[in-house]
Amino acid sequence: MMIQTEIIIYRNRSVVFEHLVNPKKMRHWLEDFVTATSKTRIASQGPYVQVIRTACSIEKIHGTVTQIIKDSKFSFSFSTSLSRVTVHYELFPHDGDAATRLLAGEEILPARFFAKLTAPVFERAARKRKAADLQRLKTYLDAGGDKP
């Protein structure tokens, strides 16, 4: 299943991009995000580890950054016990460079038979979660939440 979301954030691309790749900043907008082993921004392709809080546990997720182009694109993938997930973010200037048009895509491939059976319900929940996460990012940045 493929989930695509588009949102306009009234901050320039470099600020939005930093919030996508910096684990310290992810806690402001990712509902399930707890921490990451990397304490600084993700600067290159390669493996990473994140700890994610789920509804019933804390999971250690091992993933790979597959593409990173400063202020423009960020893609990564990871596997869980139920699925393989690939996430893509593309950032475009909007209203000059005063705002950012963020396109977010998430491809989720169920790994087990039960996951395939429940995929339609899971897809609705995943769409709602992705929209809520991006709305939190927009609200936080539009309000100037990243300013000292």
Predicted pLDDT of residue 60: 74
Binned at pLDDT 50, 70 and 90, residue 22 comes out as confident
Distance CA 144, CA 32 (A): 22
DSSP string, the chain: -EEEEEEEESS-HHHHHHHHH-HHHHTTT-TTEEEES--S---SSEEEEEEEE-SS-EEEEEEEEEEEETTTEEEEEEE-SSEEEEEEEEEEEETTTTEEEEEEEEEEEE-SHHHHHTHHHHHHHHHHHHHHHHHHHHHHHHTTTT--
| Residue-number span of the structural domain to which 68 is assigned | 2-142
Can you tell me the mean pLDDT for 43-67?
Answer: 73
Would residue 49 count as lying in a domain? yes
pLDDT of residue 30: 80
Q: Decide which of 93 and 147 is more confident.
A: 93
pLDDT at 36: 56
Q: Is the per-residue pLDDT at 39 higher than 60?
A: no
147 domain residue, yes or no: no
Residue 88 lies in a domain: yes
What integer best gives the mean pLDDT of the chain? 82
Q: What is the pLDDT of residue 53?
A: 65
Residue 79 lies in a domain: yes
Whether 148 is in a domain gets the answer no
pLDDT at 2 exceeding the cut of 60: yes
Q: Count up the domains in the chain and report the number.
A: 1
Per-residue pLDDT, 35: 58
What CATH number should be reported for the domain holding residue 10?
3.30.530.20
Whether the pLDDT of residue 116 is over 90: the answer is no
Q: Which of 87-96, 100-109, 119-128 has the lowest mean pLDDT?
A: 119-128
